[in-house]
Every structure is written in C-alpha cells, then in structure tokens.
Amino acid sequence: MSARALLRPVRGRLILAVALQALSSVSATGVLVAMAMIGDRLLAGAGAVCTIALAGAGAALLSVLCAAAAGALTHLADTGLQLRLRRQLASRLSRVPLSWYAGRGSGAVKKTVHDDVAALHHLVAHTVLDVTAVVVTPLAALVHLATVDPVLAALCVLPAVAGALLFRRAMANAGPQMAAYGRAATEINNAAVEFVDGIAVLKTFGRAGEAHHRYRRAADAFSDFFTTWAAGTTAVTTASQLVVTAPAVLLTVLAAAVPAVAAGVVTPGAVVAFVLLAPAVAAPVATIGRQTQALRTGLSAAGAVADVLRTPVRTPGTAEPDGTTIRLHDVGFGYADGVPVLSGLDLELPPGTVTALVGPSGAGKSTVARLIAGLHEVTTGRITVGGVDVRDLDPAVLHHTVGFVLQDVVLLRASVAENIALARPGATAAQIEAAARTARIHDRIAAAPGGYRAIVGTELVLSGGEAQRLSIARALLADPPVLILDEATAYADPHAEAEIQRALSALTAGRTMLVIAHRLAGIRHADRIVVLDAGRITEQGRHAGLLAAGGRYARMWRAQQLTPALEETA
C-alpha cells in the first residue's frame, strides 16, 4: 500500500473540502474587492455603495460558511481514516513475526503507530485546507488586480517571486536534512523507551544516574543537528520572510503607483485596490516553509504507516491438523543470521506421551518451545502439528491444539479472570475458578480485595511463582490436547511445585506433553527424555537407559543428586 492508496478512502471528501475551501478563499478576496470598490466610488464621489456593501457582507458570510463546512468535512474524513488505520495497524502488527519487532526497536514502532498516525491527522484535517487557501487566495487577488491595472499587478508579484527564490535557497539541502531529522527523532524515541524499560535494573545496580545517558545523548544530538541546520539557513529564511511582509510589498507597489497617480495614468481608486489586495498576493510565501514542512511531515508519516501496512504477513491457512502429533523435521533456526541456535533437529511428540527436553543452559530448549508456539519461524526444515506445517495453520487452530506455559510469563493489565480466560473468553466464573484451584492460585486470588475482578499489576501484584501458576491455570482452562511446559515450576517452592506437578499429572492422560525442565527429578518418569546440547540432540531414551549409557544425562543426573547433599553439608 502506497501513501496515496492510504488516503484513497477519504479522497472524495477531501476533494469536496478543497473545493469549499477554494470558494471560501475566493469569497474572502471578494470582501476586499468590495471594500476597494467602495473606496473607489467614494473617492470618485459616485455615492451609492449600499449594494456593494451588501455584496461584500454576503461574500464574508459565504466565506465563513464554506470554511466551516470544509473544516467539518476534513475532520470527519480524518476521524474515519484514523480509526481504519489504527485497526489495520493493530491487525497487521499482531500478525508480523516477532523478528520484525526485534529488527526495529519499540521506539520506532511507537513512532509509526502513534506519532505518524497523529501527523496524518494534521495532514488530512488541516494541511490540505491550509495549502488550498495559500494557493487560491493570492491567485484570486492577482486576477482581480490584473483587471484593475496589469502593470502594477505584475509589480506586486515581484516580492512574492523574490521571497520564493530566497526560500528555495534556504531549503536547498532540505531533503537529506529532513531524513536526518526523522532519524534523530526516532533515536530519541528509542532512547526514551530503553530508558523506561531499563531504569529498574540500572537502579538495582546503583547506576540510575547513567540510565538516561543514551536519552541525553540522543537529545543533545538532536539539538546540535537542529542548531547547525538553523544557523546555516536563518539569514536567508529571514530575508525571504521580510520581502513578503505587507510594508515591503506596499513600498514596492506605491513606489510606482504614487507617481502614476500624479501623472494621471492610474486612478486613486485603483491604488486603494492595490493597498488592500497586494499584501495578500505575497503573504502566503511567508507560510511556504510551514506548509511545505507540514505537507512533507504528513506525507512521510503516510509513507511510514503504509510501509507497516505493507509488511508481509503469512496468510493463515485453512488446513485442519489430522491428529495432534507434533514433529520437528530437520529444524534449523537462529535469532541472527549466521548464528545457528538449533541445527538438524528431528523430534516427534506422539499423542499421549510425555517428552522431556533437557540440556545445559543456552542449549536451545526454550527456543524449541517458541518455534512450536509459532513465535518465530524456523530457518530451515519444518514443524508440523497433525501433519500440517505450523506456518500453514490458522494461529487460532494452533493455539487450540497446543497450550503453552512459557518461561517468560506475560500477564495483561486486565482482570485476573480475563487473564485466566485468555484462550477461552467464553469460560464461566466457575470454570475459571476450577482452573485456578487446580493450579493452586485460587487462595491467593481470593485473598486479594477484588478477587477475580482485581486488575493484575495494579490491584493484584503477583510474584514470579504466582504468575507462573496463573499461566498454568490459563493452560488448564484452555484444555488443549498438547501442552508445552517451559520451566513451568521454575519459581515455585518445593511444596507448591509438588502440588503443581500433581495437577499437571492429572492433565497428561491422553495428552501430548513436552516438558522443558532443569530439575531432572521431576521428569524421570517421562516416556522419553531428549538431551539437547548446543542446538543438537545428543541423546534420547528413558531415564534408566540414559543413566546406564553414562553420557551427558547421567552426568547431569549425578550432579543434581550431589547438589542437595552439598547444600546440607554447607
């Protein structure tokens, strides 16, 4: 979608608004013409100015009404456009791959979603009309003055031409400068977001003073850039403004008109017309900078929004999985180009079985979970659910088939009930409570003042382990045939962990499970244990077999058996 296509839905209303604004500007000029005609009549002693005065008043009324109608139209067009764009952006941004966000930074995304859409408001609601007025008013004034005296009319164009030429010189390098301006503004946005995101951890290490370092640097760079740019152009820009001021224009015209009146080649009435209308011919040049800038900003914002809306997203397929078997076929993946995290991974999760994925930190276990969840796309190979590539599955079907309790629990700033019912919005209060009880989080929720209506993060602040149990309640309620647990009990104390394990055990019957755990004791009864090391499967089998093999798993098991003893003797 191009910037032009973006504005297509409101084109009809904008054209009508431009026509009304043009009529308003012509009518406003008509008022000045009527005043000039009255002056001419009075100077000539012709009297009878009533009709002209009435016509002038009519023109004034028409001008006001047309301007109001034009403004109402553009604001209506803008409201509809903003709503449509925000919906389209929300829909697109929810479907772009996570890597798209990683490649940008939240500041840049926020700039497009918020600032650029707001800049479009100015373009559609104001700039279009302002530019119309700036073009039509001087033209209408000039046309009338040309009928009064063509030579003097040509003369009053001179200040406008001089102002425009000076302004062009000031803006000679504006294209690259505007691009640099946009980059500097984006850098400030990114730095501000980073500042807010990182402040807690920096404070923890007593380095709060440095927290805003990048932000300050970005703001300084922005200020330096702007000062240098302004210093190089201020003199010429000021000159371009000065030559089009009313006194400068009147001086130019009167320098020729006064001798012409004395010589009897121009009437005093004609001079009145020039005094009233000549400033209007040149005045818009003073606003060229502002209007051009507003147009550029608006069009570049439209371009940025159009770019986001053009971001390719995979159209969800309509294929239905045949069963719930999950297979990883020769899967390779890396977060960054040339840095593989997983390579040649073949893995099958047969229905009703529990597969445990273990391995040292950084081996890629959570990455496997994220790939199955569709949060990232495999670089090579494929992942299938019931024989269908996850990329060809409708995300809704994927998430009904596979439930996730991932390491990084994300809770929404919504009620506890809404958070639990995320994957099943129609769930009843009783079903939500039952899931919370099974996940051993009900008592904590019931003890909070708002209970299940309390807003998570403000009215109910949960610890890491509690958040984990709430996300287990979520998965329990969704009741998917396949469940992936990534460090599901990482935050829980031993007592709570045992309870959660019991609750989860009840779930496993008839279900496919992939459990990613560091503590091997919890998964030693798994149907299959897969050992991942540096993104490759190095061993797999049942607990006893792997122990007997004396490989990596056996070493990890022995190390974990020793650890409690060491703690006790310490």
Which residues of the shown chain bind ligand ATP in the complex (CB under 6 A)? 335, 341, 359, 361-367
Shortest reach from residue 490's CB to ligand ATP, in Å = 9
Whole-angstrom distance, CA of residue 81 vs CA of residue 89: 12
By beta-carbon proximity to ligand ATP, the closer residue of 305 and 341 is 341
Whole-angstrom distance, CA of residue 436 vs CA of residue 431: 9
By beta-carbon proximity to ligand ATP, the closer residue of 181 and 553 is 553
Shortest reach from residue 451's CB to ligand ATP, in Å = 34
By beta-carbon proximity to ligand ATP, the closer residue of 361 and 569 is 361
Collect all residues with Cβ–Cβ distance below 8 Å to 378 and sequence separation of at least 6. 331, 332, 333, 371
The answer to whether 484 and 402 are in contact (CB under 8 A) is: yes
Whole-angstrom distance, CA of residue 366 vs CA of residue 357: 9
The answer to whether 473 and 435 are in contact (CB under 8 A) is: yes
By beta-carbon proximity to ligand ATP, the closer residue of 298 and 465 is 465
Shortest reach from residue 324's CB to ligand ATP, in Å = 23
Shortest reach from residue 103's CB to ligand ATP, in Å = 11
Whole-angstrom distance, CA of residue 400 vs CA of residue 166: 65
Shortest reach from residue 516's CB to ligand ATP, in Å = 7
Tokens describing residue 249: 């224009």
Collect all residues with Cβ–Cβ distance below 8 Å to 329 and sequence separation of at least 6. 346, 381, 382, 383, 384
C-alpha distances (whole Å) from 275 to each of 53, 143, 148, 265, 267 are 18, 15, 12, 17, 13
User: Sign of the CA dihedral 273, 275, 278, 279?
Assistant: negative
Which H/E stretch holds residue 297?
helix 288-310
By beta-carbon proximity to ligand ATP, the closer residue of 344 and 451 is 344
Widest Cα–Cα separation across the chain: 121
By beta-carbon proximity to ligand ATP, the closer residue of 81 and 402 is 402
Shortest reach from residue 381's CB to ligand ATP, in Å = 16
By beta-carbon proximity to ligand ATP, the closer residue of 424 and 519 is 519
Whole-angstrom distance, CA of residue 257 vs CA of residue 250: 10
Whole-angstrom distance, CA of residue 462 vs CA of residue 471: 11
Shortest reach from residue 488's CB to ligand ATP, in Å = 13
Shortest reach from residue 362's CB to ligand ATP, in Å = 4
By beta-carbon proximity to ligand ATP, the closer residue of 337 and 567 is 337
Shortest reach from residue 106's CB to ligand ATP, in Å = 14
HSE, side-chain direction, 13 A CA sphere, residue 129 = 25
By beta-carbon proximity to ligand ATP, the closer residue of 359 and 481 is 359
- Cα 507 off chain centre by: 40
By beta-carbon proximity to ligand ATP, the closer residue of 455 and 556 is 556
Shortest reach from residue 372's CB to ligand ATP, in Å = 12
220 exposed, middle or buried (CB, 10 Å; 0-12, 13-18, 19+)? exposed
The answer to whether 520 and 358 are in contact (CB under 8 A) is: yes
Shortest reach from residue 416's CB to ligand ATP, in Å = 27
Each residue of 164-187: b (16+ CB within 10 Å) or e? Answer: bebbeebbeebeebbebbbebebb
By beta-carbon proximity to ligand ATP, the closer residue of 365 and 543 is 365
